Amino acid sequence: MQVLFKISRQQQQSAVKVQTYSLDVDPSTTILDCLNLIKWQQDGSLAFRKNCRNTICGSCSMRINHRAALACQQNVKAEVARSYSAWNKQNGADSDRENPDSIPVIEIAPMGNMPVIKDLVVEMDQFWQKLDQVEPYVSSASRQVPEREFLQSPEDRSKLDQMGNCILCGACYSDCNALPANGSFVGPHALAKAHRLLADTRDQATEHRLEQYNQDIQGVWGCTRCFNCNTVCPMGVAPLDQISKIKSQVLANPTLPDSRPLRHRRVLVDLVQEGGWIDERKFGLKVVGNNFKDLPGLFSLVPLAGQMLRRQKLPIKFDASTGTDEVRGLIEAVKKRQSKTASQSESTR
């Protein structure tokens, strides 16, 4: 099977150029093996990372057909099918119609949200630094038990399985939509590891961790819930799910310092529970103005309120939505379930 590989090539601080290579390979050949063939037989200057070739080390993470993936995990057949599907969707063709190009194309590029060193090799220093910010190790106090091993039951250990599958390949970090707009966000990889520590019965720093992860848009509130991290994760860690679990623990903890993101979540739910939808008049005052306690926040609302008044977008009165009782019942049921789950989790620690 003949395939064209369009590879983005780049040196530090230089413009990107796309170079095309043609290979005749078996459809089951992995993308990493194809890159090896290109390097060994056509262009020895092509740079990319690799190691285990068995989806264990995460070294060969790159963008394949516009999304982060492991080159050792993806094969030619699947990627050609993906290319056809993308072309059909773009051109409104039937799903069983093939790309009119006589030779299928697979596009390869370096991971996103990281500076390029050369070709498909990226600088990952910031990736590791942000992981370190969440203190991804069991608290030292928990390890100070010299008279015995600090063992866990099989049930407690099983709670860590999903997060423990993370191989730190950088795929979720590469395709995270929040990072380009918010450089302080620690990233989905770090927060997935963060939840592993919160779920670990040996760790004794839960309060400190929740306070740390609750910090403005640096922690869990920086996530835009774009779902990209779940989509590209090659190991099924589902970072967004872990971030949501941390948020649930933060919201259930009344001792944490108040913050605007925390008020945003709580006020939104309270207003919907009260009237079926959000009363915009109260929302700004409660969240940004902190119930008239945050004067700079209140003054920041004045220009927006003026624009809304001029455009008749500021509601004079608020009418509850139809079905408010049903909405209220759903919210109350979810809160009871979350409270029960939190109590069970606390009793097992």
In the chain, the percentage of residues whose pLDDT exceeds 70 is 93
Supply 338's token pair.
């979350």
Strands 67-70 and 116-118, by their bridges, are unpaired
The parent domain of residue 94 ranges over 2-118
Check residue 234 and give its pLDDT: 97
H helices of 200-259, in order, are 206-213, 228-232, 239-251
Task: Select from 88, 118, 148 the last residue of a domain.
Answer: 118
Q: In CATH, what number is assigned to the domain containing residue 70? A: 3.10.20.30
φ/ψ of 5, rounded to 5, equals: -105, 115
User: What is the Cα–Cα distance from 181 to 174, expressed in whole angstroms?
Assistant: 14
| pLDDT for the residue 96 | 45
**Cα dihedral: 22, 27, 33, 35 (round 10):** 30
Phi and psi, residue 30, nearest 5°: -75, 160
Question: Is 114 in the same domain as 148?
Answer: no
Give the total number of structural domains in the chain.
Answer: 3
Within this chain, do residues 264 and 292 fall inside the same structural domain, yes or no?
yes
pLDDT of the residue at 345 = 62
Residue type, 50: K
- Residues of the chain short of pLDDT 70, as ranges, are 87, 92-101, 142-143, 145-146, 148, 342, 344-349
**Percentage with pLDDT > 90 across the chain:** 69
The DSSP code sequence of 131-145 is HHHT--S--HHHH--
Query: CB of 23 within 8 A of CB of 34?
Result: yes
Together in a domain, 67 and 159: no
Q: Alpha-carbon distance 310 to 137, whole Å? A: 54
For residue range 69-123, list pLDDT tens digits in order.
999 999 999 999 988 877 677 776 654 445 555 789 999 999 999 999 999 999 9
User: Based on the domain organization, do 139 and 153 belong to the same domain?
Assistant: yes
Last residue of a domain, one of 251, 280, 305: 251
3-state secondary structure of 2: strand
| CATH number of 175's domain | 1.10.1060.10
247 plus 139 within the same structural domain: yes
Residues 179 and 227 in one domain: yes
Q: Are residues 274 and 243 in the same domain?
A: no
Last residue in a domain, options 118, 148, 180: 118
Residue pLDDT, tens place only, 143-153? 676 676 777 89
Output b/e per residue, 275-285; b: 16+ Cβ within 10 A. bbebbeebbbb
* Residues 84, 27 within the same domain: yes
